[in-house]
Structure 1
């Protein structure tokens, strides 16, 4: 393992230029960086950084009493364009609004998309989906829900959302995972976290 600490590693880089090249549903910024290489050489690299909002929240609601959870499906054009199932299994997710607290954003997204009030939001982990190009961090949460309290949901029409929410037993969700039917990274991360930390919820899973 390289003994160089993070502070020293950061001192070897400097940003020469930044230029916004696209602004739409996402932004694309071109960043030019000078770097002193670990082998003693020097290099200048130019990279495009894609951001989908500031940061993103992903939430998996779990009813531990009934050993159930909520997933959703909606049309995903990029997945369709890649000749895959255009309605992938996903968790609730969305980008934070400007200045919005991460917990407030998670609660808002869960109500808009799933019609559920988040109870006991707990951060499972944070990740970058593809750190070589994507700049938005994803904060992954677990929360409690009660099936009897669900109302509304389905997403926002003005954002082109038409979301169907599915309640599955934890064992059913695990079966989908084992079959390779769950391809969304956020769903995989949260489901595997739940399987590792609370295996008792999955009793009866094949």
Structure 2
């Protein structure tokens, strides 16, 4: 009889297969780099020592896509992103609202604060979409992703905090224009793609058909 791949929870590799041998801080600046040496028991039973770096950028991160269902529009922003400048010559990519949590701050409270600071928006509701790790092989920070709702009332100033180097341009887009960003590959920030696709799955009737796109 042919065998099938293991898919049950019992087949998940357990933490007991990994022993942490040493940890040391290799770098501390705006980010920290921790060097960790581990002993991994491989699937064939042999032991292997490996060293990995874990990069942390302060605390965990929150991100939110503000949407106005009644008017079929949403908010994105542009702000300076140095890695995108260096790698893609695209210093101001479109993205959702995002930021780091402050000491002792909960994810929902941090999301509401970031929306007000950066987008000038008071969230009417917040819906938690998922907790994600953008690059789990090296980045230690978790990102909690939210859909937020807002309405057409005038927004506060927003724009971020000047003392943190933020100069954020907030842009309101129709659902149709936002969907076109996905089709053309113009939205390249991973958390923004996840949140927009989640919105499209939750409210497919509010988006134009993608057939033939």
- Smaller-chain TM-score range? over 0.9
Query: Matches of residues 113-192 of structure 1 in structure 2 within 5 Å?
Result: 113-192=118-197
The more displaced of 160-169 and 76-85 is 76-85
Alpha carbons 1:53, 1:97 under 8 Å: kept: no
Note the C-alpha offset of 1:149: 3.7
| 1:5 matches 2:13 | no
CA distance in 1, matches of 2:27, 2:13: 33
Aligned residues: 206
Note the C-alpha offset of 1:196: 1.2
Note the C-alpha offset of 1:153: 0.3
Alpha carbons 1:126, 1:137 under 8 Å: kept: yes
The more displaced of 17-26 and 179-188 is 17-26
TM-score by length of 1: 0.94
TM-score by length of 2: 0.91
CA distance in 2, matches of 1:187, 1:84: 19
Q: CA RMSD in A?
A: 1.7
Structure number with bigger Rg: 2
Counterpart in the other structure of 1:50: 55
Note the C-alpha offset of 1:136: 0.6
| 1:32 to 1:98, Cα distance in 2 relative to 1, 3 A | same
SS at match of 2:128: strand
Counterpart in the other structure of 1:34: 39
Match of 1:72 among 77, 82, 93: 77
Unpaired segments ≥5 residues, structure 2: none
CA distance in 2, matches of 1:62, 1:117: 12
Question: Deviations for 1:121-179, whole angstroms, at most 9, x for unmatched residues?
Answer: 11111211011101111111001001214111000001000100000011110011111
Note the C-alpha offset of 1:83: 3.1
